[in-house]
Structure 1
Amino acid sequence: MTTTHHAAMAAALGAAARGWPVFPLAVGDKAPPRGFTNWETRATRDPGRIRAWWQRAPYNAGIATGPAGLVVIDLDRPKPGQRSPREWNLPGICDGADVFALLCQRAGIPIEWETLQVRTRRGGLHLYYTAPPGTRLPSTNGSLGWLIDTRAWGGYVVAPGSTVTLPDGTGRYTVQHATRPAPLPPSLFKQLQPAPLPAKRPVHVPIIDDRHSAYLNAALNRELAHLAAAQPGQRNRALFGAAAALGELIAGGALPEQPVKELLEQGGADLGLSRSEVVRTVESGLRHGARRPRHLATA
């Protein structure tokens, strides 16, 4: 085991000692190893299991933020050649930390900088906070602002001590400010709460084609069942897959788009995904499915 891999195992053991469940990430990567599924439920604080994992193969370390009771704000830096959206093309706005500071300033929220801070491999910043008791914030991707993600339930962060070597940047995750994670301030918690979807109401999908109604109803129920059974960490992907599959039937004229879209949005909301994630993922999946229209036999 190399020095780098010893550091990753030490990071995993250190996180577990703080009460944070951990799991392996592929060496040099930010994703779990191939075949390692259900990472949120398999993450552990057991030192014996952690050592057993790292003795089998070299890994990076991931912290399952939801079970750890953490909310981590990920303030990223733009990738080479990446330009800011028009709304963030403002003087002094260069990265996610600038966007976050401006968002908090606009909302009149003081930023709690006195908390555990981890410098990421491309120069970004992870701010660690403890989640308010009894809450279950979902993870978000870009819904707060440009280059800002949050990691809570359904998400994870690369533990400090891990080294990532990817085409868009190589580097080690290091502790920049070593202190206990501060409680997430109530005002910041309110800012991080995702906007709710519209109130849930029954959605009826009219199926005009009586000859294929049984097949189409089965297809709808199958995709919605797969979506409802999605595990943490796979929910966004499951929503995209369901939208893509039903998008093929919509493009082929077998299903109406708007009611199906509403059903998918309700399914995503039931999984705890944020409003922006649900809308973006459903639209992307429907577009993907429309590329391969599925026409039902007429004979």
Structure 2
Amino acid sequence: MNEQLLRAALDAAGRGWHVFPLRPGTKRPALHGETSCPRTGPCASGHLKWEQRATTDPDRIRAAWSLAPYNVGIACGPSGLLVVDLDMPKDKGSSDAPCGATTFQALCERNGQPVPRTRTIRTASGGTHLYFTAPAAARLHNTAGTLAPLVDTRAHGGYVVAAGSTVDGTPYKLEGPALLRPLPAWLMALLVPPHPVNRQPTPLPTAGTERRTRYAEAALTREAATVAQTGEGGRNTALFRAARALGRFVASGDLPRHVVEEALQGAGEAAGLSAAECRATLRSALNWSIAHNPPRGQAA
């Protein structure tokens, strides 16, 4: 059992997913809590929680799994994953209660979308986990029933039990598609927290090109200043939201895309983000905003 679980941990780590041990046969973390922290090793500078201690280091993984037949937990946030958890009804005696897969399918139909096909894991309870690569432009967190009943999501602050683990005698195993796909844009839109720039924007001035340009330039200056002044922990989200807000001016023709990119790239780097991270965030957010804002003259 140790060898099988060790292989499962190493396989997940080989995919770039950060793993940590769960108590044998359960879904509970096997790492010590803050009250019992020895303040040594990884915790020498202060207690580290499971998300911070999750690793892809093969040597650390082998050392940990040599001690006991630990199940494998995957820390979704550090792994760049968004996992949709389609759960089973808690009341086993109610045969007509819809499961998470049913309510998720209804959600897809309401949005005019097919059920996404991606890496799928059958859980010990009979539910399923749908794995997606999480967009770098937004720091998504866990949800519980936000999308639909019995449909939860795991991202930053959340973990899932990896395939190869066994809970209550039942294994988690790959079922159906094995290929990992990006989170669909329509699901991303449902999961992004409400924010003023995501609300219906104030209509652009309709009279005079010069007036519209001044309005757009003022918005660019304001958004770039906001990004540059944002502290650690919110910088990427601020950059994403600024690009989403300004993309409508690109779509309308009031601001050239390269002008917006250059201003926000500089603001993001000034806030402490890397150049590559800024480029990826801007590309994703501007593409979305331009696609969802009609060019001038084509608005309904």
* Common fold by TM > 0.5: yes
Please give the range of the TM-score, normalised by the shorter of the 2 chains. Answer: 0.5 to 0.7
- State the distance in 2 between where 1:105 and 1:18 align: 32
Name the TM-score, length of structure 1 as normaliser: 0.57
**Corresponding residue for 1:17?**
14
User: C-alpha displacement at 1:8, in angstroms?
Assistant: 1.7
Q: 1:106 aligns with which of 106, 110, 130?
A: 110
- State the distance in 1 between where 2:101 and 2:150 align: 8
User: C-alpha displacement at 1:82, in angstroms?
Assistant: 6.4
**Corresponding residue for 1:135?**
138
**Corresponding residue for 2:3?**
6
User: C-alpha displacement at 1:123, in angstroms?
Assistant: 1.0
**Which amino acid is the alignment partner of residue 145 of structure 2?**
G
**Corresponding residue for 1:257?**
none
Identity of aligned residues (%): 50
- State the distance in 2 between where 1:21 and 1:67 align: 6
Q: Which runs of 5+ in 2 are unaligned?
A: 34-47, 197-300
Q: In angstroms, what is the RMSD of aligned CA positions?
A: 2.3
User: C-alpha displacement at 1:93, in angstroms?
Assistant: 6.3
SS in 2 for 1:67: coil
- State the distance in 2 between where 1:133 and 1:82 align: 42
- State the distance in 2 between where 1:194 and 1:109 align: 21
1:47-87 residue CA offsets vs partner (Å, 9 max, x unmatched): 00000001122200000111110100000111344659xxx
Match status 1:64 vs 2:68: no
**Which amino acid is the alignment partner of residue 7 of structure 1?**
Q
Change (3 A) 1:81 1:117: closer
Runs of 4+ aligned residues of structure 1 deviating over 3 Å after TM superposition are: 80-84, 194-197
User: C-alpha displacement at 1:118, in angstroms?
Assistant: 0.4
Q: Is the 8 A contact 1:99 1:146 kept in 2?
A: yes
Q: Is the 8 A contact 1:109 1:188 kept in 2?
A: no
Name the TM-score, length of structure 2 as normaliser: 0.57
- State the distance in 2 between where 1:65 and 1:184 align: 13
- State the distance in 2 between where 1:63 and 1:99 align: 25
**Corresponding residue for 1:190?**
189
SS in 1 for 2:188: helix
**Corresponding residue for 1:54?**
65
Q: Whose Rg is larger? A: 2
**Corresponding residue for 2:85?**
74
**Which amino acid is the alignment partner of residue 54 of structure 1?**
W
**Which amino acid is the alignment partner of residue 162 of structure 1?**
S
Q: Which runs of 5+ in 1 are unaligned?
A: 85-91, 198-299
**Corresponding residue for 1:179?**
178
**Corresponding residue for 1:164?**
167
Match status 1:40 vs 2:51: yes
User: C-alpha displacement at 1:183, in angstroms?
Assistant: 0.7
1:161-193 residue CA offsets vs partner (Å, 9 max, x unmatched): 00012xxxx411000035221011111211223
- State the distance in 1 between where 2:28 and 2:195 align: 29
